[in-house]
Amino acid sequence: MPPLPALLAPSLLACDFTRLASEIEAVRAAEYLHVDVMDGLFVPNISFGFPVLEAARRVRDHLNSGQVLDVHLMIERPERYLHEFAAAGADSMTVHVEATPHVHRCVQTIRELGKRAGVVLNPGTPLEVLRPLLDSVDLILIMSVNPGFGGQSFLPQTYQRVRTVRGWLDEAGSPALLEVDGGVSAANARQLAEAGATALVAGSSVFGPDGAAAGLARLRSALA
């Protein structure tokens, strides 16, 4: 079976922040821009928050690229900040099921804010938690590393997890995006698309030494 085309979501976490605007410009052809927010509690790392998201939005608006700002919230009880992230420029917000007892409420709030609502699962979280949410989400994100850091090795169990969720989405007739995040590169992109992923997040494999435009092109050709 030929791989389905997957949308690409370069992860800003891996970019050179001294050149934020030109890094975003280098990946302007990507459909999504992935923005990793970490609070030092849910994950053992702190990345960035509203000012960087606002800056990314300004660059995106200036480029007029139409790129979707895909905000991955690795924060405890994300319901505390959904309004602020929407105001700062998020087009899509994804909350971890492990980070709140109120995942469904978060999804409802995100949609009320007029944004796309996503849920994300850590590699050790049973997929069954997704079942009651299938009808309510615009995006499901499967972590293929333990969240918190870029540059980690892809966990091969992800293929089977993606196939299972793909089956459930197809059964439900859901158009939700199925996104994978962590250790994604030209070496596994095609296999992930074949397993049913429709969006791929990539940090270190895009923002590499030969520049982000080349990194993005490598991923695209792996999928072609």
Residues at the interface with ligand DX5 (CB under 6 A) = 11, 13-14, 34, 36, 72, 145, 147-152, 181-184, 201-205
CB of 14 to Zn ion, least distance (A): 10
Q: Which of 181, 185, 189, 215 binds Zn ion (CB under 5 A)?
A: 181
Q: Name which of 154, 167, 163, 147 is nearest 72 in CA terms.
A: 147
Which does residue 183 touch among Zn ion, ligand DX5, none (CB within 5 to 8 A, set by kind)? ligand DX5
Total binding residues toward Zn ion, as defined by CB under 5 A: 3
Residue 14 sits at φ, ψ, to 5 deg, of -95, 0
CB of 80 to ligand DX5, least distance (A): 20
Residue whose C-beta lies closest to Zn ion: 72
- Out of 36, 39, 70, 91, the active site residue is 36
Tell me the chain's radius of gyration from C-alpha atoms.
16
CB of 155 to ligand DX5, least distance (A): 11
- Out of 135, 138, 181, 210, the active site residue is 181
Which does residue 93 touch among Zn ion, ligand DX5, none (CB within 5 to 8 A, set by kind)? none
Is 36 tagged catalytic? yes
CB of 194 to ligand DX5, least distance (A): 19
Is 61 tagged catalytic? no
Q: Which of residues 12-41 bind Zn ion (CB under 5 A)?
A: 36
Q: Three-state secondary structure along the chain?
A: CCCCCCEEEEEHHHCCHHHHHHHHHHCCCCCEEEEEEEECCCCCCECCCHHHHHHHHHHHHHHCCCCEEEEEEECCCHHHCHHHHHHHCCCEEEEECCCCCCHHHHHHHHHHCCCEEEEEECCCCCHHHHHHHCCCCCEEEEECCCCCCCCCCCCCCHHHHHHHHHHHHHHHCCCCEEEEECCCCCCCHHHHHHHCCCEEEECCCCCCCCCHHHHHHHHHHHHC
CB of 70 to ligand DX5, least distance (A): 10
Does residue 72 interact with Zn ion by CB under 5 A? yes
Which does residue 10 touch among Zn ion, ligand DX5, none (CB within 5 to 8 A, set by kind)? none
Does residue 70 interact with Zn ion by CB under 5 A? no
**Interface residues toward Zn ion, by CB under 5 A:** 36, 72, 181
Catalytic residue IDs:
36, 181
